[in-house]
Amino acid sequence: MRYRPIPSQLFVHNRKNLARQMMPNSLAILNANDIPPTNSDGTLRLRQNSDLFYLTGVDQEESILLIYPDAHEENMREILFLRETSDLIAVWEGHKLTKEEARKATGIKRVEWLSEFRPLFHRLMCECAHVYLNSNEHKRAVIEVPSRDARFVADTRARYPLHDYQRLAPLMHTLRAVKSPWELDLIKEACNITRDAFLRVCKMVKPGVNEAEVEAEFAHEFIRRRGDFAYGPIIASGGNSCVLHYVDNSKDCRAGEVLLLDVAASYANYNSDLTRTLPVSGKFSRRQRQVYHAVLRTMRGMIKLAIPGKLPRVWQKEAEALMQEELLKLGLLKPAAIRKQDPDRPALKKYFMHGVGHPLGLDVHDVGHTTGPIQEGWVLTVEPGIYIPEEKLGVRLENNILVQSGGNIDLMADIPVEADEIEALMAKRSQKGK
């Protein structure tokens, strides 16, 4: 893969943690994601199943992991199944993992080709009492095409109808929410790549630059540093800055507008998530600066208020309370409107309609039990915003934090965010162009 090798200790550690959570005499099965088709004979790149990657680090199609901690024979407790290569595959698709390479990368001693999966799986199904099957369980997921895991679930339950089946997802959500030191190193690298790309972009944004050109600058730095886009980049100037998931990135930036950049890198499948708002002309107008400072104060406040033991919904309410005060100061809300508001539809939602943050990791909207309290070791985004369509002005700011009981760590503290810092960067760009 493009990124540098990851220490196998990460995956050994993760599998041991999962084994401790499993019921006695149970096995778990995880499948790689499918390679998505496009049209004709086209395909997209593989985006590996996050749970499988978390437990193995394998970034190859058709891979299967079997974990059976209580198997009678020790060499049956962890088995990785891989697609066997051939001279033809090597010519058309390139190198595939050898068994020895897979052992070294994953720390799994027993690696078999896929042809061995069915007989070994049947043998172990005859021994185990409980079976953990994997599924994509995210509250916002819209699932229209059955995944490889989903097809496997249906087939297994048809072949072995009398077993006790368990959901693997709740265990994985618990484990993946708290980040290990190895994972934090990968997230920090994604943040570092994002920082350098942002600084690169600040040198070229000016009136007349197209949003697509800005996207290209991010792509150059991400790919050069062995990273990738963590998600579809949002590069939104003028009125587009009020569109939360604007992805056209096709408009020319105009003097006097702001440019909202919600763009970040992934590295080794681990993600960062950054948002900054720039003045296209190099200086914020008085009004833009007022709104910018309101959002920045809210972000700073919410970084401090994301503390272990607090429910995410309480954290959200605190963010809305801070934002309501800022909107009153800006004259966007009136006290009378707040007094008359429907509690289920607070007035502030007109200008701040989304969540203040979410877990971050192998997925940008990472898994975790967000109905439970925030925990030490979570990585969260903090991303308040104010959107004023009638002024064609949207300002969102976003940093990523590591939640700690003694005070949170801002993983993007070295990425300029103060309005004066942003203007100073833009001034260097202007001076260079003279």
User: Both 318 and 413 in a single domain?
Assistant: yes
User: Both 162 and 269 in a single domain?
Assistant: no
For 94: left if phi > 0, alpha if psi spans -120 to 50, otherwise beta; the answer is left
User: Both 317 and 199 in a single domain?
Assistant: yes
Q: CA geometry: angle at 64 spanning 58 and 66, to 5°?
A: 110
Residue 433 has pLDDT above 60, yes or no: no
pLDDT given for residue 125 in this prediction: 98
Q: Which of 13, 367, 309, 408 is closest to 183 using CA atoms? A: 13
Residue 248 has pLDDT above 80, yes or no: yes
Domain residues for 71?
9-176
Express each pLDDT in 34-52 by its tens digit. 999 999 999 999 999 999 9
User: Both 105 and 125 in a single domain?
Assistant: yes
Environment class of residue 244 by beta-carbon count within 10 Å: exposed (0-12), middle (13-18) or buried (19+)? middle
User: Both 158 and 190 in a single domain?
Assistant: no
Q: What percent of the chain has pLDDT over 90?
A: 95
Average confidence score pLDDT of the chain: 96
Q: CA geometry: angle at 208 spanning 207 and 213, to 5°?
A: 110
User: Both 61 and 198 in a single domain?
Assistant: no
Express each pLDDT in 56-77 by its tens digit. 999 999 999 999 999 999 999 9
Q: With respect to residue 2, please indicate whether it lies within any of the assigned structural domains.
A: no
Q: At what angle do helices 9-21 and 169-177 cross, to 10 degrees?
A: 130
pTM for the predicted model, two decimal places: 0.96
Q: What is the CATH number of the domain that holds 86?
A: 3.40.350.10
User: Both 269 and 404 in a single domain?
Assistant: yes
Q: What is the CATH number of the domain that holds 260?
A: 3.90.230.10
pLDDT given for residue 285 in this prediction: 98
| Phi and psi torsions of 333, nearest 5° | -120, 150
pLDDT given for residue 431 in this prediction: 55
Residue 432 has pLDDT above 90, yes or no: no
Q: Which of 176, 193, 214 is the last residue of a domain?
A: 176
Number of domains the chain contains: 2
Q: With respect to residue 51, please indicate whether it lies within any of the assigned structural domains.
A: yes
User: Both 241 and 116 in a single domain?
Assistant: no
Section 336-364 average pLDDT: 95
pLDDT given for residue 139 in this prediction: 87
pLDDT given for residue 161 in this prediction: 97
Q: With respect to residue 250, please indicate whether it lies within any of the assigned structural domains.
A: yes
User: Both 210 and 96 in a single domain?
Assistant: no
Q: With respect to residue 82, please indicate whether it lies within any of the assigned structural domains.
A: yes
pLDDT given for residue 344 in this prediction: 87
User: Both 229 and 244 in a single domain?
Assistant: yes
Section 150-173 average pLDDT: 98
Q: With respect to residue 3, please indicate whether it lies within any of the assigned structural domains.
A: no
The sign of the dihedral angle between the CA atoms of 329, 333, 338, 339 is positive
Q: With respect to residue 131, please indicate whether it lies within any of the assigned structural domains.
A: yes
Q: At what angle do helices 181-202 and 419-433 cross, to 10 degrees?
A: 50
User: Both 363 and 301 in a single domain?
Assistant: yes
Q: With respect to residue 37, please indicate whether it lies within any of the assigned structural domains.
A: yes
Q: Which of 176, 208, 242 is the last residue of a domain?
A: 176
Q: With respect to residue 4, please indicate whether it lies within any of the assigned structural domains.
A: no
Express each pLDDT in 180-207 by its tens digit. 999 999 999 999 999 999 999 999 999 9
Q: Which of 176, 202, 219 is the last residue of a domain?
A: 176
Residue 434 has pLDDT above 50, yes or no: no
Section 239-250 average pLDDT: 97
User: Both 329 and 193 in a single domain?
Assistant: yes
Express each pLDDT in 82-109 by its tens digit. 999 999 999 999 999 999 999 999 999 9
